[in-house]
């Protein structure tokens, strides 16, 4: 009778003196018990910190928070059902209290509704003309790297609703 061994390197499990059918069953049991995904020694990813947002922020800060929340959601493997609650938990206590007073059932709403409601209380409304004037007056400071200045200009331009059309 042939011998079979576990295909995992360094395992050492071998079947001897059994029929093919019994060897297959033994290897399946061995794989399920010893090489189960929960028992493998896979390095654990570092914990991702939850982003936080408070009330009274500029639109640029809000946009960055949304991006960080999406990264947190993807990295923490948060599903669509838990996403509204997890996004609400990104709000500071003060901001969360304001949102709960406005809508006590906020966590039962869709993610889009939760984002819109939190945004309403978090972002200070600023006229588009004011944001555009601020963006047009941005200057690079003497000790600021060009890439940092460029990122600052791009972030501000995003909130100003500037767009380009080209073919």
Whether 113 and 142 map to the same domain: the answer is no
pLDDT of 3 over the 70 cut:
no
Tally Cβ neighbours within 10 Å of residue 63: 15
Average pLDDT over residues 12-33: 71
More confident residue, 152 or 100: 100
**If 0-12 CB within 10 Å is exposed, 13-18 middle and 19+ buried, where does residue 56 land?**
exposed
Whether 100 and 133 map to the same domain: the answer is no
Q: Which band of pLDDT confidence, cut at 50, 70 and 90, is reported for residue 152?
A: confident
Whether 71 and 107 map to the same domain: the answer is yes
In this predicted model, what pLDDT tens digit does every residue of 25-63 receive, in sequence order? 776 776 776 666 554 556 677 788 899 999 999 888 999
pLDDT of 96 over the 80 cut:
yes
Whether 63 and 116 map to the same domain: the answer is yes
Residue 30, in any domain of the structure: yes
Q: Which helix (H) or strand (E) holds 79?
A: none
Q: Give which of 163, 158, 150, 130 is closest to 59, Cα–Cα.
A: 158
Contacts of 35 (CB under 8 A, 6+ apart): 6, 8, 11
Which pLDDT belongs to residue 104?
Answer: 92
The mean predicted confidence, pLDDT, of the chain is 83
Which pLDDT belongs to residue 39?
Answer: 47
Tokens of 160: 């100003």
Residue 8, in any domain of the structure: yes
Residue 53, in any domain of the structure: no
Average pLDDT over residues 120-145: 89
Give percent of the chain with pLDDT exceeding 70. Answer: 81
Which pLDDT belongs to residue 160?
Answer: 79
More confident residue, 137 or 25: 137
Residue 26, in any domain of the structure: yes
Whether 134 and 111 map to the same domain: the answer is no
Residue 90, in any domain of the structure: yes
Number of structural domains found in the chain = 3
Measure the CA–CA gap between 20 and 142, rounded to whole angstroms.
76
Residue 54, in any domain of the structure: no
Q: Which band of pLDDT confidence, cut at 50, 70 and 90, is reported for residue 116?
A: very high
Residue 166, in any domain of the structure: no
Which pLDDT belongs to residue 24?
Answer: 74
Indicate the range of 6-15, 68-77, 81-90, 143-152 predicted with least confidence.
Answer: 6-15
User: Containing domain of residue 84, as a range?
Assistant: 59-122
Average pLDDT over residues 73-98: 92
Q: Can you give the C-alpha Rg of the chain in angstroms?
A: 27
């Amino acid at each position: 009778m042939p011998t079979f061994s576990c295909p995992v390197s360094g395992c050492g499990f071998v079947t001897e003196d059994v029929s093919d059918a019994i060897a297959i069953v033994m290897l399946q049991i061995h794989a399920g018990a010893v090489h189960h995904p929960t028992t493998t020694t896979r390095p654990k990813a570092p914990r991702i910190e939850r982003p936080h947002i408070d009330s009274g922020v500029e639109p640029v800060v809000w946009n960055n928070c949304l991006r960080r929340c999406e990264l947190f959601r993807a990295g923490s493997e948060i599903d669509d059902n838990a996403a509204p609650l997890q996004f609400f938990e990104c709000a500071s206590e003060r901001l969360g209290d304001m949102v709960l007073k406005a809508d006590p059932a906020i966590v039962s709403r869709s993610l889009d509704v939760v984002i819109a409601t939190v945004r309403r209380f978090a972002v200070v409304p600023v006229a588009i003309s004011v944001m555009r004037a601020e963006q047009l007056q941005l200057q690079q400071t003497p000790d600021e790297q060009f890439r940092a200045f460029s990122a600052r200009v791009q972030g501000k331009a995003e909130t100003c609703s500037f767009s380009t059309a080209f073919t």
